[in-house]
Amino acid sequence: MTHQVRSEVGRLRTVLLHRPGPELKRLTPRNNDSLLFDGIPWVDKAQDEHDAFAGALRGHGVEVLYVHELLRQTLELPDARAAAVESVLADQRLGDTLRASVRSHLEDLDAEHLATTLIAGLSHEELRGGNGLVYTLLDSHDFVIDPLPNLLFTRDSSVWIGDQVAVTSLAMPARHRETTLTDLIYTRHPRFRGTPRLYDPSLEHLEGGDVLLLAPGVIAVGVGERTTPAGAERLARRIFAAGFAHTLLAVPIAQERATMHLDTVCTMVDVDAMVMYPKVADTLMAYTVTQQGDEQVVSGPSPFLAAAAKAMNIDALRLIDTGLDPVTAEREQWDDGNNTLCVAPRLAVAYERNVETNSRLEDAGIEVVRISGSELGSGRGGPRCMSCPVDRVPTAKLP
């Protein structure tokens, strides 16, 4: 089966989601900061919200795939199962004695429970037969295998460009193991086996939330807290070699929690239209990267909107004017008001709580599918963050 994604707005056919599960129940006031959550979500409510999100996508004809289900199916294969266990045992914090106990514990699990453990983690108290110095010195509530609550945000650990998948290199230690699971699925699951690989986790830091496919041939990459300049350069080299793009725009963004990825400040809502945090609309800059022969050529900086329009070969990129006062704009940006998921041109999913941003989108001709996100948003991510498009209908090329 062939999958492809060449824009942000082509009609969405297939998407990869992760329904939040027991890994969220691992969050406490003691560990939520290190696990990158701003609060402690009400898990049952988060699951209800996520189910409604998935239901809204299915209601528009989208096939929804789930990470846990794909992982469970992958772990039915003996070679994949062995690779998954070895990836956990490679953690140098375990030591030899605890490592042997963890191996025994994991090898006794069936595929369903192994998938759950790899995602939800394993605590000191849950490990059967733990012993040795490392185990003894762990607190009873410490994790032997860390949970992955941020797996909810499937956008970051992989991104499809053309008919290839980039399994990314996540910057934060709390998220490193996510790409091990994503890589296992794309490498060994029957649906994806043989898919060409555009990027892998051993390379420079690059996260999917920073990658925007503005138009066929034009890709913007945010450079900031998560994606490094070296990661953007590496991606440029690979997409140019594969013929997926003629221009990459490297876009520096403020290195802070509220703007961790480019898609926290702007997303596409039509083939030539974007919603953007008003505070950065006039200040966001871009460096234009192209290929000439064997060399990358870098020009700029120039205003992002102008650089994007030039690369897309249009007069101007239509900016949806949210017209918000500074306080409302800042609140709705923090609540992921600019983090929309396009299901088709002029059809976007957004959190319902961003009332003013959604109203301005509709005034501009964008149909908004509203979903609740009071609990889902506690990890700082909106509909785009929570989704990895696997297949989209190609859009017509712009003039």
How would you classify the pairing of strands 285-292 and 245-252? Answer: antiparallel
CA distance 40 to 26: 9
Contact 67, 151 (CB under 8 A): yes
Catalytic residue among 266, 342, 385, 388: 385
Q: What angle do CA 217, 221, 222 make, to 5 degrees?
A: 160
CA distance 383 to 338: 10
Check if 385 is active-site: yes
Residue 92 phi, psi dihedral angles, 5° rounding? -70, -15
Cis preceding linkage at 326, omega within 30: no
How many CB atoms neighbour CB 29 within 10 A?
A: 8
Q: What angle do CA 76, 79, 85 make, to 5 degrees?
A: 85
Largest Cα–Cα separation, the chain = 67
Place of tokens 């060409």: 196
CA dihedral (381, 117, 193, 388) in degrees, to 10, reads -10
Task: Return the H-helix or E-strand segment holding 350.
Answer: strand 347-351
Contact 370, 59 (CB under 8 A): no
| Bridge partners, 221 (sequence order) | 211, 250
- Please, which residues have CB within 8 angstroms of residue 87's CB and are 6 or more apart in sequence? 177, 180, 184
Can you tell me whether residue 308 is helix, strand or coil? Answer: helix
Contact 126, 145 (CB under 8 A): no
Contact 320, 360 (CB under 8 A): yes
- Please, which residues have CB within 8 angstroms of residue 274's CB and are 6 or more apart in sequence? 266, 267, 268, 305, 317, 318, 319, 320
- Active-site residues, by number, are 385
